[in-house]
Amino acid sequence: MRRCLVLIVLLAGFPAAVVASAFSHGPYSGAPACDAVTICWVCTENLPARIEYGTRVQYEVDGTLSESLDVPFPQHGGADTVHVRLDGLQPNTDYAYRVVLTEGTAEHASPLGAFSTEPPPGEPVAFAVLADTQWQSEGANRLEMVGDAIAADPLTFDFVLHAGDVVESPSPSCWDHWFASFNDMLLRAPFIPVLGNHEENHRSYYETFSFPPGAGKNGKRWWALHWGDVVVVGLDTNVKQAADIAEQQDWVSAHLAGPEPHKFVIFHHPVFSSDVYHGGSSFLDKIYHPIFVERGVDIVFNGHSHHYEHIVRDSVTYLIVGGGGAIPRTTVPERIQGSKLSVEGHYFYVRVIASTDGIDVETVSVARETDGTAIPTPDRLLDTFTLPALEVVEPLPLGTKAQIDGLLDVCRFQSNG
């Protein structure tokens, strides 16, 4: 297995230097590929920079980063996110990087970050999932607790997924708070979110992150990541137009039809949920669930409901993962059909390892909400399970555009979360 524990040593052992005042956000990475990744950051001033990068193996041996890319003075405002694509990387390789801002003769070096390029088929793939981080107004920073736990996880993640409601609202103050809470996590691996309702489809969401190849608004509203033995498809369940839903039906069906043995889908609103406020949506049940059954999806990750729930319907596993920092909510006394486990009142994330042996899932509790206080829960797992290969099932009929139009007349998502 090429994944190892050395990443924690790398990140912990590299001095932060004079960096806090120079970077407003980041650096962080996104849009990973076989031979490329995008490095992003926001400066407090418009400053030229260089990205220093190299293999983690090399850095372990001599502490050097052999490659360097100069980034000229940004042409737009200093508050805008800089996106720089690193191309020509070695496949199946673990990398370390840092961004160095230059201000006259002074240099401001970021802490060390990490990313990996796509492994070949047969190699394990590890990733983390969280959702509903939103905002922390008082008390211990729950977002930071979750982010720090992911940053300290012993696995080396290929990427980190987020199932929406990244921020409470798409305002500069909310983005600043979010990055301050998750900076350490963002250095661990490329970060890939989907839209929640709280992002409001705002331009700041699209300007902040770099996504795998996608479609919809700016080619970023929904996307697909093909990564070794894994495919992950991200969708936008905030859309209201029948054409957008039909296009996503085609998108997810096509990308789930590839050769990858492990298939995952992520979007914000739950298809099924025992949440007393945001139960499952028959709209999503009719539009997307038949495709997931037909294509043999292993796991669908959803947020919006602020609890953990493990649901199985027609051999498809649905995980409600809304424990990233938003205030927990309660569930109905009688859980919905197919609910295997439901846990309230925890802040948590999910870690996944997909390999030739199957899919191993662990839901890691970071803290429990007790009388308005987040109490740390070290070494506690809310759930753990393994998925073998799915059995072949008879496909269900897919919704037609006319059926979608009819559903849109009577079904609307609950927009508060």
- How far is the first Cα of the chain from the last one, in angstroms, to the nearest whole number? 39
* pLDDT score recorded for residue 282: 65
Burial of 265 (0-12, 13-18, 19+ CB in 10 A): buried
The rounded radius of gyration (Å) of the Cα atoms in the chain is 21
Q: What is the pLDDT of residue 18?
A: 40
Q: What is the DSSP string of 68-108?
A: EEEEPPPSS-TTSPEEEEE-SPPTT-EEEEEEEEEETTEEE
pLDDT of residue 200: 84
pLDDT less than 50: residues of the chain = 1-9, 11-20, 78, 390-396, 401, 404-405, 407-417
Residue-wise pLDDT for 112-142, tens only, equals 999 999 999 999 999 999 999 998 877 889 9
Neighbouring C-alpha atoms within 13 Å toward the C-beta of 380: 13
The pTM of this model reads: 0.91
d(CA 353, CA 357): 10
Which residue ranges form the domains of the chain, and what is each CATH number?
6-116 (2.60.40.10), 125-410 (3.60.21.10)
Q: What's the one-letter identity of residue 377?
A: T
ω into residue 193 within 30 of 0, thus cis? no
Q: Which two tokens stand for residue 322?
A: 């809304």
Q: Which pLDDT tens digit goes with each residue over 88-115? A: 999 999 999 999 999 888 899 999 999 9
Q: In sequence order, what are the residues at sequence separation of 6 or more whose Cβ sits closer than 8 angstroms to the Cβ of residue 228?
A: 118, 119, 120, 121, 122, 123, 125, 260
Give the per-residue pLDDT at 407: 45
375 vs 92: CA distance, rounded Å: 39
